[in-house]
Chain A
Amino acid sequence: GAVVSQHPSWVICKSGTSVKIECRSLDFQATTMFWYRQFPKQSLMLMATSNEGSKATYEQGVEKDKFLINHASLTLSTLTVTSAHPEDSSFYICSASADGQSGVVTQYFGPGTRLTVL
């Protein structure tokens, strides 16, 4: 259980184009979804937190107009990188949280999407 998928797993695009990445919780309803960015050999950097039906909360320093997040349902969130540039090339990982016993929230991660902007 608690499977999270991402699509696509990798994408190559030209500079100036937009790219959409989907994140789905396959076997549970996620109250909250998170988007992370990971640079090579580094830890994960939280970009934003989104709840179904409301606006995402972005971390300091993350441009909300560049990284558009839509959380249309309890099982789907999308991240759109608008007007992508080579510096946006990275590994993007989503996670979905599920309430557990005693109110403990556990995040389950997708397999990641490798974005390369030429």
Chain B
Amino acid sequence: GDSVTQMEGPVTLSEEAFLTINCTYTATGYPSLFWYVQYPGEGLQLLLKATKADDKGSNKGFEATYRKETTSFHLEKGSVQVSDSAVYFCALGGSGGSNYKLTFGKGTLLTVNP
């Protein structure tokens, strides 16, 4: 079945540091890929998405490129801020005709210190 593997956290960075959170997936068909962010005590917010190979999703300085050859969707940001502290979830949108269900990674806690 479909699965998502995210790098284990927690990740602690200083403000303005470069961020990479690795995400790889296993899926049949052609899934869509998503990054969601969850701030403390809140639900999930869609951060960015990509729907086909070589697509690049971007939002708020975050980027991720859908790499079919390496089955990866790594999240990057060039200069993190304290306000980026949150849990980040990589997710795969159902493939093989089931376009609705999301399969989530375990989440990566990011803490950015001033």
B43 at the interface (CB under 8 A from A): yes
Q: Which residue of B lies closest to A6 (CB)?
A: B43
Provide the bound-state CA to CA distance between A114 and B43, in Å. 11
Query: Is A109 within 8 A of B100, CB to CB?
Result: no
Q: Which residues of B contact A34 (CB under 8 A)?
A: 100-102
Among the listed A43, A111, A112, which residue makes an inter-chain contact with B105, where contact means beta carbons less than 8 Å apart?
A43
Query: Is B46 within 8 A of A108, CB to CB?
Result: yes
B25 at the interface (CB under 8 A from A): no
What class of interface size applies to chain A in its complex with B? Answer: 20 to 34
CB distance from B83 to the nearest CB of A (A): 18
Q: Which residues of A contact B106 (CB under 8 A)?
A: 42-43
Q: Which residues of B contact A43 (CB under 8 A)?
A: 89, 104-107
A19 at the interface (CB under 8 A from B): no
Instruction: Take A43-B106, A43-B107, A104-B32 as given contacts and tell me if A109 and B45 are in contact as well, using a CB distance cutoff of 8 Å.
Output: yes
Q: Which residue of A lies closest to B104 (CB)?
A: A43
